[in-house]
Structure 1
Amino acid sequence: MNGPEGGQSWGHNWEAAVLAPFSLRDGRAPAGADEVVLDAELASRSGVTVGRPVKIAVRSSPVEFRVSGIAAPKSGDGLTRQSALFFSPEKAAELAATPGQAHAIGVLAEPGVTPGDLAEKIRDAVGTAKVTVATGVERSTVEFLDVSQTRMLLMALAGSFGGFALLIAVFVVASTLALVINQRRREFALLRAIAATPQQIRKLIGAETMLVAVVAGVLGSVLGVAVGFGLRNAFGAIGVIPPDFELAISPLPLIAALALGLGTARLAAWSASRRPSSIRPVEALGEAAVERRELGRVRLVIGCALVVAGLGGSFVPIFLNGEAALAASSSSALIIVIGLAVVSPKVVAVMTRLLAPVLVRTSRISGYLAAANSQANSRRLAAAVTPVMLAVSFALSMFYSQTTGAAARQEETVRSTTADQILSSGTGGLSPEVAEAARRIPGVAAATAVVRTEVLNTVQEQDSLRVERYAAQGLDGDQVRGTLDLGVVSGKITDLTGNTVAMSESEADWYDKKIGDEVEFYFGDGAPAKLRLVATYTRDQAFGRYVLPAALARAHTGDQLDDAVLVRQQPDADSATVTAALNGLAGRYPGLTVAPGTSVAAPGGGQQQAQFYVNLVAVGVILGYVVISVANTLVMSTAQRSREFALLRLIGTTKRQVVRMMRFEALATVGVAAVLGTVVAGVPLVLLNLGLRGTPLPSGPITVFAGIIAGAILLGLVSLGLATRVALRSKPIEAIGLRE
């Protein structure tokens, strides 16, 4: 029995009905072990009435009950997130398989007692070390586990997403400010020449920046609420968060976002104001006339050091795998981008020297002018190249690192699985009886239950304790041979019984554990574990860092069910006969499906796919911001050239030739940015694929790469094209007299 809209059905003890509250509409409360009360919506959908027998799949095995009553909440016939079934207290405890324990205790306040006061009294009575007392909206995290997981996911996403956004904002804002300040270099030169101090120049730039930032920050904070609702809808549509998960609107995030935005703008203003404020008055007007070409030695050293550090970090996936490799690859690409941004005028100058002959040969007039402009104004071009390069490299790195990680896990899982058939369930988990039943079928050589779980480790960090979660699996050690190949390098996987554990080779080396040593960690339910190490293996992308005996892993999961059963046939067995017998188990265990071993999916596929969608949406938001900034930068760099365009037209250049010149410059700008962005993302991605998959080619559709490059080219052509046409509207004789 599925819940509303394909959701879940949950069983409860009848005493818990008062918490909804549910009340009987028909019949009576369940008294015997074979009686059940259904909510009215489920009963109506199933066509069941009081006194009728029903079969309910309990731990994937159908059990017959008699409907003793039908209940409903105060409003409606049922709940929106689940279908509710109520058993007698004894039967509910038996089905929960946790004698003497309860998932939660609901407490109702007497009339006149507020929930907050009652919560404080409960905390004082039992102590916060033993229980967590939730009231108000916090009760949802206890009743619905997906709500608690969603809040943790959103908090983690906000942290990583916010960090990336702030870092990108610093570079984009700094690049834009550098371009604006470069356009005003004559003004600052004049101020320095008439005795303005460096501090006054810095204060002027800082005050102007903060004034604009306050206005933009207020508008952005308000629009951010709309973006938040859009993200909630997007995450709900792809199944990352519950569809009914609501956002809590508070002024604190808006204030924090505004403060961070102002801090980012102030940092960017400080960085951009260093040069115009430190130049000597006697040099100011001379430098303002011609663009300063050389870079400071400190800037060159910092930029080169960052590029070298990023390239060094790109080699991490050769030695590590899993999430650490993915994080190192993405971080390395970002560090390289930062390094190239610092020395971008030098890099762009080299690229334009290589590109200039091509432009000249392409067009004798417009191409020559575009090449000359690009070579003479490398700083202006660098300010336009940097954000485009950032957008291209960021998009490529984030997308293809995710597809590469998923492909690596899937490929290793397929290589590691030697079973002939896989038993799974379309309605949830499998009863532990399924593996036993499969082993009794003639022609079956081995059948191991697979229990996917996680283990917890704690890491002491100064004054705090950090909890790390690792994927783990439970397997039947004596049944693994012939169904799975873990890549065992030491010990025996057949010894995986009782209180034992197998660890990945890298994890064992990290904790300096040898065969026979005691390994301490926590099970997924928080229970402490002290297990003896019996084997180490290499294929941890397919099996996680820890492998436990199936019975031990099952005992520490909430439903105590198996996720799958891997079956290996005897060499002389008839495959059709064995498959037919396995399919016959579906009559005893509803929802059971039989699939060939080659169709195995990597563990945590649903979670990884959800994470991929989350990253994709987050990257889309960041790229949207970068695209707007890129367009703004390109338009600004073109709008300041109205006098240049007027001069070209007065000396005989036609409007069409000027437009063609700007098209060539746009192609040069975007071309340099696309090449640099591709190389920046490509080096870490190639090394990531070599480390995880043994091939240099990233996994994923090439159409995404083509779309990103085409989007960058289109953005450059449209932005510069529109700005050029606006700048050419004025008559040359009028534009030449305009103030710069």
Structure 2
Amino acid sequence: MEAMISLAWKTLRHRKAGFAGAFVALFCAAALVTACGMLLETGLRGALAPERYAGAPVIVAGDQFERRVVDKGEGETKVKAKALSELRWIPENLAAGLAAAPGVEKVVTEVTFPAGDALGHGWESAALTPFTLKSGRAPEKAGEVVVDASFRGESFTASGRTYRVVGVTHQALPSQRTVFFSTAEARRLAGRPGLVSAIGVFPQVPVTVKGAIAYTGDERGAVEFRDGDNARIKLISMGGAMGGTSLLVAILVVVGTFALSIQQRQRELALLRAVAATPRQIRRMLGGEALAVSAMAGVLGAGAGIMLGFWLRGRFVALGAMPDNLHLVLSPFPMAAALLATVAAAWAAARVSARRTSKIRPVEALGEAALEKPGLPVGRLIAGLVVLAGSVVLTILLTTLDTEAAAGPVTMLTALAWTLAVSLLAPLIARAVTALPLRGPGAGGYLAARNLRAGTKRMSSVITPLSLMIAMTCTILFVQTTLGAAAHDQAVAGVKAETVLGPGASATAAREVPGVRAVTEVLRTSVRVDLERYGAQAVTPRGLDQTMDLGVVAGSMASFGEKSVALSTKAAGWFGVAVGDRLALTLGDGTPAELTVAAVYTRGMGFGELTLPHALVSKHVDDPRGTLLVAGGDRAALSEAGPLLSPAGNSSSGGAAVNYVAMGLIIAFCAIAVVNTLAMSTSARSREMALLRLVGTTRRQVLGMLRQETAGAVLVSVVLGTLISAITLSAASLGMTGSLMPSVPPLGYLGVIAGVAALALAATAIPARLALREHPAEAIGGRE
């Protein structure tokens, strides 16, 4: 045992270039897993520090979760809770009861509402931060405001009215701009008579309030930043999906890297078998090498993963996917998990890759190293066929998933499963391709064709990362374009209005413009049905037929009123309801509602899975400012009523950019794997290139041979990767959009192929040119 470990260390010292590839793959794997683990742990344990409520020791507010008792069977029950998307307000008269509680010295009521590009409050709630005046005085009249220190100017405009700035505070919050109105004006603008968003209690004493919850510490941040819980849920799902995908990709890449490394050492391992090294000793040596390399790569990669995690957080904050005051949770668990996963993957990869070599009988060892055996080992062939069958099953399953949340992870898993099948069966694919009578021009083409036929194992090891990169890149990029195009097409087809006005536009002003036939007010929100969240829109029914066409296939929007709901065909199937049925749901702030299904429509991706009455929803959202669809009227005149948008402007989503950033790391890892594999493969052929030079082959012919070999591998990989992504994207598109044809921008696809080809050629040419600088005799004499 000690002798084999000593030999493992010696081989590491004397084969630095060969193990550099494995180190790079493991380093990147550890960094990715660590970063994903940090996101996941932040979603599970992260806390939001309060800003606006930092000065109040206790905040009394509504329960920000929708809770439901679920029967687990056998008399057992459990309470399930889901975060609300809108703030649940509480009665203002609760303040009197709190003020009378023992130990309470002061209570402060608070209302929060959107005011221009800031959040508006009544001046009486300034003590919750606390805000203090730097200059001026408190607002006393309806037309006066106090602004925070970040504002400039002598006036402020909100809700179509201009207010005079009468005071400026010392403070400004980092995550929100703040404007204070007089108490009466704040209550009017909030539009919730008799309700408040929160009540501050001074000092911190135990208080109990029926119909509300007392929040202390960082719990106050969850009330102030209601998107924080949603962000944490996104981090959990994103971190889990990214981590799982990264780990699967890492295992595939690491196995391929070790297989290539061991393949390049066939002569060395054959010699060890010939001098009586046992299979167990060979496996121990290779396992020891893998453990040594993976331990070093895992530790360094985990450290780099921390920096990667902070970079990801910065991008998500910039894209609005998480609030700035939701800080990453730092603990040893993600790094330990990354190190363990890296070491386990490397050890398993080395043992699996060495299994066939270590079993060769000593008398056959050198012959096995000198000549490739045709065909595949029976175990690998069976595994390849099993994974191929599993890929077919996953593809069929993907066609049945009609929500992005359910289909997203399965889409990545399907692409990976097909790539794994290609990886396992790659030698057969390479042998079939090289059997074709294909040959490039000149001596380089002749040499390339002969090399590809003689070295199918080498070609198969190159095909795997190239196919993986093309398949994953196309899948990640074009699943987003497919969903975006479907939503855009439905929105364009369904918006009949000639003009769309953005948030803050006045419906009254728009209706007064000459020539306007109809104005539809539209709000975007979400609701819950049986605790599951669904995207919804709220519309004003009057004149809806002139501004919007939802593609109704059952019922009629003519009967749509204040107690009605219209559903997409998908939603109707999910809920098992039809026209005339009653549907119980919960609005964004937790208010229950039971509505009658008036219509079923087809354009759910463009307009939301549910359509609700505007009058009902506007009272239960944090920001009642939506868009206006205007039929008729002059666009120039309408622009005075609010900002102009494109007809499909309400169908866009910022989630695609977040997905691109998150999954882009997987693409980067695949790119590194491509460079790594090709550089390893080319560097290991320095002896071969030196022999070619000695027998009269020119540098140009050698480089031409390598370019044509790489071009052949790229061509095969393009076909395989494109086929994998086409199957995966078609299945995902069929499930989510109903169309078998995904939306793939031609220039985008050509850009992916060109990028992969350029990367592959560069990864081949650079190490080849470095190897060719050395004199052929010295190259042969200095290497095995």
TM-score (norm 2): 0.76
Aligned to 2:432: 350
Q: Structure 1 residues 451, 626: CA separation in 2 closer, same or farther (over 3 Å shift)?
A: same
Q: 5 Å matches for 1:590-605?
A: 592-593=642-643, 599-605=646-652
Structure 1 residue 402: deviation in Å? 1.4
Runs of at least 5 residues in structure 2 that lack an aligned partner in the other structure: 1-114
- Report the AA paired with residue 18 of structure 1: A
Q: CA contact under 8 A between 1:635 and 1:719: conserved in structure 2? A: yes
Asked whether 1:102 is paired with 2:147, we answer no
Partner SS state of residue 78, structure 1: coil
Structure 1 residue 37: deviation in Å? 3.0
Asked whether 1:37 is paired with 2:146, we answer yes
Asked whether 1:566 is paired with 2:624, we answer no
Aligned to 1:672: 716
Asked whether 1:727 is paired with 2:777, we answer no
Q: Distance in 2 between matches of 1:659 and 1:35?
A: 77
Q: Deviations over 1:236-289 (max 9, x none)?
A: 555555678765554443333323333333343343243334555565444233
Q: Distance in 1 between matches of 2:350 and 2:197?
A: 54
Asked whether 1:450 is paired with 2:495, we answer no
Q: Distance in 2 between matches of 1:511 and 1:209?
A: 52
Q: Distance in 2 between matches of 1:642 and 1:78?
A: 64
Aligned to 1:548: 612
Answer with 146-155 or 416-425: which moved more.
146-155
Q: Deviations over 1:662-710 (max 9, x none)?
A: 222222222222232223223444566678496847343x333333222
Q: CA contact under 8 A between 1:316 and 1:329: conserved in structure 2? A: no
Partner SS state of residue 452, structure 2: helix
Q: Deviations over 1:174-232 (max 9, x none)?
A: 10001112122344445556665555444333322121111111111222233334334
Q: 5 Å matches for 1:172-183?
A: 172-183=253-264
- Report the AA paired with residue 535 of structure 1: A
Aligned-residue CA RMSD (Å): 3.5
Asked whether 1:341 is paired with 2:449, we answer no
Given candidates 457, 465, 472, the residue that maps to 1:379 is: 457
Higher relative contact order structure (alpha carbons within 8 Å, sequence separation ≥ 6): 2
Asked whether 1:401 is paired with 2:479, we answer yes
Q: Structure 1 residues 264, 140: CA separation in 2 closer, same or farther (over 3 Å shift)?
A: farther
Structure 1 residue 722: deviation in Å? 2.7
Asked whether 1:703 is paired with 2:775, we answer no
Q: CA contact under 8 A between 1:330 and 1:401: conserved in structure 2? A: no
Q: How many pairs are equivalent?
A: 668
Partner SS state of residue 769, structure 2: helix
Asked whether 1:47 is paired with 2:154, we answer yes
Q: CA contact under 8 A between 1:496 and 1:534: conserved in structure 2? A: yes
Q: Deviations over 1:639-658 (max 9, x none)?
A: 22233334434444344433
Q: Distance in 1 between matches of 2:412 and 2:119?
A: 41
Aligned to 1:483: 547
Q: Structure 1 residues 7, 483: CA separation in 2 closer, same or farther (over 3 Å shift)?
A: closer
Asked whether 1:215 is paired with 2:296, we answer yes
Q: CA contact under 8 A between 1:419 and 1:482: conserved in structure 2? A: yes
Q: CA contact under 8 A between 2:120 and 2:180: conserved in structure 1? A: yes
Q: Structure 1 residues 78, 538: CA separation in 2 closer, same or farther (over 3 Å shift)?
A: same
Structure 1 residue 416: deviation in Å? 0.9
Q: 5 Å matches for 1:149-188?
A: 149-188=230-269
Partner SS state of residue 344, structure 1: helix
Given candidates 457, 460, 467, the residue that maps to 1:389 is: 467
Q: Distance in 1 between matches of 2:235 and 2:297?
A: 25
Q: Distance in 2 between matches of 1:658 and 1:65?
A: 77
Asked whether 1:72 is paired with 2:152, we answer no
Partner SS state of residue 22, structure 1: coil
Q: 5 Å matches for 1:357-506?
A: 357-359=438-440, 362-363=441-442, 365-425=443-503, 429-430=504-505, 434=507, 438=510, 443-458=515-530, 468-506=532-570
Structure 1 residue 309: deviation in Å? 4.8
Structure 1 residue 415: deviation in Å? 0.5
Q: Distance in 2 between matches of 1:657 and 1:61?
A: 75
Q: 5 Å matches for 1:503-514?
A: 503-514=567-578
Aligned to 1:268: 349
The percentage of counterpart residues that share the same residue type is 40
Q: CA contact under 8 A between 2:120 and 2:181: conserved in structure 1? A: yes
Aligned to 1:17: 126
Q: Distance in 2 between matches of 1:704 and 1:280?
A: 51
- Report the AA paired with residue 165 of structure 1: S
Q: Distance in 2 between matches of 1:739 and 1:264?
A: 30
Aligned to 2:668: 624
Q: Structure 1 residues 40, 209: CA separation in 2 closer, same or farther (over 3 Å shift)?
A: closer
- Report the AA paired with residue 369 of structure 1: L
- Report the AA paired with residue 381 of structure 1: M
